[in-house]
Amino acid sequence: MSIPSCPNCSSVNSYLDRTLLICPDCGHEWSSTQDADLTENLDVIRDANGTALADGDSVVLIKDLKVKGSSTTLKVGTKIKKIRLVGGDHEVDCKTDTGSFMLKACYLRKA
């Protein structure tokens, strides 16, 4: 079993003490099962309410969003169908009546 580095300070000096992993540099303690849960949840993209999103879902905007470089504003309550999840800072790729946009999931809720 490989001992993971500390999630707090990224130190490689971590060691196992019974069921806990301990970092001697910053004093952070965590369980090995907690580490597995964190890596499992990293790939899941969640909306503003914490609901997991998937490709093809329909979502609703929860806030007015100004489109950068344009006078267009996406209004609250706008329903967006057939989203596509992508990596990066803006996790959702979608098409609306006004064009194609990359949006952050924190401004959306699942419809």
Determine phi and psi for 105, rounding to 5 degrees: -65, -20
For residue 90, give the DSSP letter.
Answer: S
In angstroms, the CA 34 to CA 81 distance is: 35
Say if residues 86 and 52 touch (Cβ distance below 8 Å): no
Q: How confident is the model over 54-82, as pLDDT tens digits?
A: 999 999 999 999 999 999 999 999 999 99
Domains in the chain, ordered, with CATH? 1-43 (2.20.25.10), 59-110 (2.30.30.40)
Q: What pTM value is reported for the model?
A: 0.61
Sheet with 99-103, strands from edge to edge, namely 84-85, 92-96, 99-103
pLDDT band at residue 48 using 50, 70 and 90 as cut-offs = very high
